[in-house]
Amino acid sequence: MKAREFLIEYNEQLTKQIVSDKILDEYEDNDTAVAIKKLADEADYYRIGGGVDSEIYVNDKSPDVIKILIGGYGRKTSEAAMGFLKFIQFCKANPNSIHLPKFGKVQTITVGKEKVYHVRMEKLYPLSEDEAQVAHIMTTRMNPQDTFDDLIYTIRNHGNAVPRMKPEVIKTVKNRAAREEKIAIKNKSIIPVIRKIEKFIGKSKNIEIDFNEMSDNIMKRKDGTWVITDPYVG
């Protein structure tokens, strides 16, 4: 597959988008990333973010996003990219899980002298502030042996900080905790999936699980279903 074709194939059904020159500021000195952005611009996609050795592009008219896994800027395929490819494998092996994203075809293309992976995945949406706080607690403050009651305790007490707060602050915190508790109850079915991924990744050499603080590692569909998007780092 030629580099120019990696997004052009989707262009026929899409309308022209205005792309901000600022979306790639942090990558402007990297030849591969700049080349990818140029090809994306030609296909009417714009960059919405990225991670370790990856770029994410979207077109508002498309039901999918395109994730580009860069092979480590001149190195062999990075551990972060390999980790995400392994995550795709895990998702396709568990197609009935509502908390895992749906992926399309994975292809390799060449941009300049570098091989990159072109991945299509379903478009997801950010969690609300309260939802993100609950997701953060689920993924960074729960141990594998913790129960759902432990999660609720943490939400209600925010790490045992409530007793040390001023009375006027306690009321605000408890109101928020009540909202977060409802969110946790509604979305508790994602916890076993997180544990399953942790167990799966524990068998992967040199790859670690990492749900970064307040990140987009968990997002949601339009119907509100939470989806784990990318739990890996190298």
∠ at Cα 194 (226, 56), nearest 5°? 55
Query: Along the 234 residues of the chain, how does pLDDT read in single tens digits?
Result: 444 444 444 333 332 333 333 333 444 446 777 778 788 888 888 888 777 778 888 888 888 898 888 764 445 667 778 888 888 988 999 999 999 999 988 888 877 777 788 899 999 999 998 999 899 888 877 887 888 999 998 888 765 565 666 777 778 878 888 999 999 999 999 999 988 887 776 655 544 555 544 356 899 999 999 999 887 654
Is residue 116 domain-shared with residue 9, that is, in the same domain?
yes
CA distances from 115 to 2, 87, 137 (A): 11, 20, 37
DSSP secondary structure letter of residue 126: P
Is residue 59 domain-shared with residue 96, that is, in the same domain?
yes
Domain span at 84: 5-122
Classify residue 161: in a domain, yes or no: yes
Is residue 23 domain-shared with residue 92, that is, in the same domain?
yes
Is residue 148 domain-shared with residue 118, that is, in the same domain?
no
Q: Indicate the number of domains in the chain.
A: 2
Any bridge partners for residue 208, and if so which? 233
* pTM across the whole model: 0.76
**Composition of the chain by helix, strand, coil, percent to 5:** 45, 20, 35
Classify residue 210: in a domain, yes or no: no
Classify residue 20: in a domain, yes or no: yes
Torsion of CA 33, 74, 54, 203, to 10 degrees: 180
Classify residue 195: in a domain, yes or no: no
Is residue 11 domain-shared with residue 89, that is, in the same domain?
yes
Q: Which residues are CB-neighbours of 170 under 8 A, at least 6 positions away?
A: 162
Is residue 178 domain-shared with residue 116, that is, in the same domain?
no
Is residue 53 domain-shared with residue 68, that is, in the same domain?
yes
Is residue 111 domain-shared with residue 138, that is, in the same domain?
no
